């Protein structure tokens, strides 16, 4: 199963303070906007999303169809195929993707410890 680019999405209290902290760790702004209260920061192949007030908890994120630079890749497992494979393994899916749909879509699963995992396809 090819899950695509990986990042962690962090629920932060203060986007400006978090931006400075991660810049001090060597991360640079890759996408987003402080005024919109979200940033994606990058250090090499490591990606961290900073989100102020957008969701509860932290989320492990995978982007089928993207590499670590948000470039589209030719060969990837579609989000619907990933969802079907996980369901067949008995994994409960939250907010399921319509299996007959096409293009961008996402769904979430939760691991045994309560960690949310977002499978978020943009293409």
Q: Where are the domains of the chain?
A: 5-121
pLDDT at position 36 is 97
Cα distances (angstroms) measured from residue 123 to each of 7, 93, 109: 17, 21, 20
Residue tagged 């987003």 (tokens): 32
Q: Is the pTM of this model over 0.85?
A: yes
123 residues of the chain, pLDDT tens digit each: 999 999 999 999 999 999 999 999 999 999 999 999 999 999 999 999 999 999 999 999 999 999 999 999 999 999 999 999 999 999 999 989 999 999 999 999 999 989 999 999 999
pLDDT of residue 95: 87
Quote the pLDDT of residue 24: 98
Q: Rg for the chain (alpha carbons), in Å? A: 15
The yes/no answer on whether domain 5-121 falls in CATH 3.10.180.10 is yes
What's residue 31's pLDDT? 96
Strand order through the sheet with 59-63: 28-33, 38-43, 46-52, 5-12, 59-63, 116-121, 105-110, 93-94
- Give the pLDDT of residue 92: 96
């Amino acid at each position: 199963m090819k899950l695509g680019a990986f990042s962690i999405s962090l629920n932060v209290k203060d986007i400006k303070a978090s931006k400075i902290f991660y810049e001090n760790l060597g991360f640079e702004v890759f996408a987003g906007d402080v005024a919109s209260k979200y940033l994606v920061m990058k250090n090499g192949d490591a990606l961290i999303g900073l989100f102020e007030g957008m969701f509860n908890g932290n989320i492990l994120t995978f982007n089928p169809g993207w590499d670590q630079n948000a470039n589209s890749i030719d060969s990837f497992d579609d989000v619907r195929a990933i969802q079907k494979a996980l369901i067949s393994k008995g994994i409960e899916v939250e907010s399921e993707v319509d299996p007959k749909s096409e293009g961008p879509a996402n769904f979430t699963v939760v691991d045994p410890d309560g960690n949310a995992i977002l499978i978020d396809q943009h293409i």
